[in-house]
Amino acid sequence: MKTDGVVQTFSGRKQSLIEDARRERGSAGGGGPAGSPGPSRYADGFVFEEKDGRVTLNVLFALSSEKNAGFFKTGKIFETFEAKLLHIESRMGRKCKNSTTDLEFFMKCEVHSSDLDVFVNSLKRVADDVRCMPEEKGKLPWFPRQIKDLDRCNMLITKFDPDMDHDHPGYNDPEYRKRRAVISELAFRYKQGDPLPVVEYTAEEISTWRQVYQQLRSIYPSLACKQFLDGLQQLEKECGYGEDRIPQLREVSAFLKERTGFQLRPVAGLLSARDFLASLAFRVFQCTQYIRHSSAPMHSPEPDCCHELLGHIPMLADKEFAQFSQEIGLASLGVSDEDIEKLSTLYWFTVEFGLCKQNGAVKAYGAGLLSSYGELVYALSNEPEYKPFAPEETAVQPYQDQTYQPVYFVSESFEDAKMKLRKYSANIKRPFTVRYDPFTCSVEVLDQPSKIQNALSQMREDLKTLHSALEKLSSS
């Protein structure tokens, strides 16, 4: 991680989203034709394909959060059987909605085929509700159809969690970790339609916010795009944005809903790439409420409320940008892991680290830039390389997670970026097209002629309304 004085680049969410998508894609090919797949093995009644004497499997199990022994014993089993962890996620147990007793874990791992049965049986001795299944091929990934389905889009990536990441500034601070757990619990308990939870921030947390707000606010006028500045000004006027108070999600969500139809949803940490992008399809932005550690106010290895509220929210108040964000989400529904990786990369070089042209100058609109003093100054200096935004190239651009980006993509305008994204999305291999219905907050899969006909009928009614409006204007 590069530092410049007290400033460090924010790369946690970018790094997480793209790497998460890449890991999912890479591990999905574990039982493919490459090499010499061996005979099948059986565990829990499933058939597993061997490759070079190993099998890739998905394991789901539950552990009691009141006892650490189960977690450590599970880790020991993975170590004993030399199981290679490819992916890990956690969430509150579904069977205990009103309790914090159980945590559910999803792990994708690779084990020796000869150890498979013993490995699974060993897990069953220390964990509850152990389920084991192979990778499915040829099946379309599940995706939410209604906004309430986002309750299921809650798989967390624990790589940057202060309880797991030894390099996290809060790892050695038990009080910070305890505070994070309290705030995270608010997100775990949230269900679609509930009032957004309110966090009573401490004096120390507000002090951290103040340092970040003051330093970034001083350079926004010269480096941020017009849409961002307009959005921030409105937020300062209507939502109490300022250095002395951390805004609450409830009031910010209401503000966005009135302007662009976007709304916020609390999240306890980093989401998997597929879940995070799927939320955007419904004009829902998953937003953290905890704040970075006070010892490193200019650095966070993961998204926090400074990144979300200062980097993302002002831009989501712009209609063109909100539409662009939603279209990335719609393009992600039901696509392959390979396409999720590409769309994740597109997201991070636009929504997170994007630049645009305005009045003959280059300005920042990416949230990763607008919430990082050091990288914002660097990105608009003469050091990095600029390339025009071209989705086919951007989607495969290597990214840098140890220092600032050597390359940034510059859009002519949000409208131009949106048109290019639509053209790119049309070429994604998917056996159907999706359409968002804002009246029911649902996604309709256009896989039958009757559904397409209904959509066209609605469009004709909208065109009639617009035609009538034009006639009245021309006759007045």
| CATH number of the domain bearing residue 34 | 3.30.70.260
Provide the percentage of residues in the chain whose pLDDT is more than 90. Answer: 49
Residues paired with 87 in a beta bridge = 108
Do 294 and 356 belong together in one domain? yes
Q: What is the pLDDT of residue 295?
A: 75
Of 220, 157, 120, 179, nearest to 17 (Cα)? 157
Q: With contact defined as beta carbons under 8 Å apart, do 290 and 179 qualify?
A: yes
Residues 207 and 254 occupy one common structural domain: yes
User: Residue 211: in which H helix or E strand, if any?
Assistant: helix 203-217
Question: Residues 331, 394: one domain?
Answer: yes
Query: Which bin fits 283, alpha (ψ -120 to 50), beta or left (φ > 0)?
Result: left
pLDDT above 90: residue 400: no
Asked if 312 is an active-site residue, the reply is: yes
Q: Taking 80 as the threshold, does the pLDDT of residue 314 lie above it?
A: yes
Q: Which of 134, 164, 191 represents a domain boundary (last residue)?
A: 134
Q: Residue 81: count other Cβ atoms within 10 Å of its Cβ.
A: 18
- Which parts of 395-448 fold into alpha helices (H)? 414-426
> Is residue 252 located within the same domain as residue 355?
yes
Range with the poorest average pLDDT among 20-34, 77-91, 203-217, 337-351 = 20-34
Is 371 marked active-site?
yes
269 and 386 in a single domain? The answer is yes
Q: Which residues contact 441 (CB under 8 A, 6 or more apart)?
A: 146, 147, 282
Q: Is residue 226 part of a domain?
A: yes
- pLDDT value, residue 6: 36
Q: Residue 312 annotated as binding? A: yes
Q: How far apart are CA 20 and CA 370, in angstroms?
A: 23
**Catalytic annotation, pick one of 87, 293, 299, 312:** 312
Three-class SS string for 218-276? CCHHHHECHHHHHHHHHHHHHCCCECCECCCHHHHHHHHHHHCCCEEEECCCEECHHHH
Domain membership flag for residue 218? yes
- Is 307 a catalytic site residue? yes
Rounded CA gap, 329 and 282, in Å?
8
**Residue partners of 312: CB distance under 8 A and separation at least 6:** 285, 287, 351, 367
Q: What is the pLDDT of residue 32?
A: 37
Question: Does 293 carry a binding-site annotation?
Answer: no
Average of pLDDT values for 25-50?
48
Domain residue limits at 56 = 30-134
Least confident of 93-102, 250-259, 315-324: 93-102
* Residue where a domain terminates, one of 115, 134, 153: 134
Query: Does the pLDDT of residue 24 top 80, yes or no?
Result: no
Q: Mean pLDDT across the chain, nearest whole number?
A: 83
Given pLDDT bands bounded at 50, 70 and 90, which one contains residue 18? low
Residue with tokens 């994007």, as numbered in its chain: 354
Question: Does residue 304 carry a pLDDT above 70?
Answer: yes
DSSP string, 289-339: -----TT-TT--SS--HHIIIIIIHHHHTSHHHHHHHHHHHHHHTT--HHH
The reported pLDDT for the residue numbered 55 is 85
Q: Left (φ > 0), alpha (ψ -120 to 50) or beta: where does 341 sit?
A: alpha
Instruction: Give the three-class secondary structure for 344.
Output: helix
State whether 66 and 119 are in the same domain. Answer: yes
Catalytic residue among 27, 300, 344, 371: 371
Catalytic residue among 307, 325, 327, 375: 307
What's the domain count of the chain?
A: 3
Mean pLDDT within 369-392: 94
Q: Is the pLDDT of residue 135 over 90?
A: no
Which one of 89, 205, 352, 375 is the catalytic residue?
Answer: 352
| Alpha helices per DSSP H over 81-200 | 116-126, 174-189
pLDDT digits (tens, 9 = 90+) for 206-236: 999 999 999 999 999 999 999 999 999 999 9
pLDDT confidence tier of residue 101, bands split at 50, 70 and 90: low
Segments of 338-396 assigned E as strands: 355-358, 361-364, 385-388
Six-digit token pair at 37? 């797949």
Is 25 a member of any domain?
no
Phi and psi for 344 in degrees, rounded to 5?
A: -60, -40
% pLDDT > 70, the chain: 81
Mean pLDDT calculated for residue range 309-330:
96
Distance CA 291, CA 287 (A): 12
Q: Kindly state whether residue 156 falls inside one of the protein's structural domains.
A: yes
120 to each of 40, 69, 78, 332, how far by Cα in Å? 16, 18, 10, 33
- pTM attached to this predicted model: 0.74
Of 82, 100, 134, at which residue does a domain stop?
134
pLDDT(250) > 80: yes
Question: Do 333 and 278 touch, CB atoms closer than 8 A?
Answer: yes
How far from each other are the two terminal CA atoms of the chain, in whole angstroms?
62
pLDDT at residue 1, as a whole number: 35
Would you say 299 is a known binding-site residue?
A: no
Per-residue pLDDT band at 324 (split at 50, 70, 90)? very high
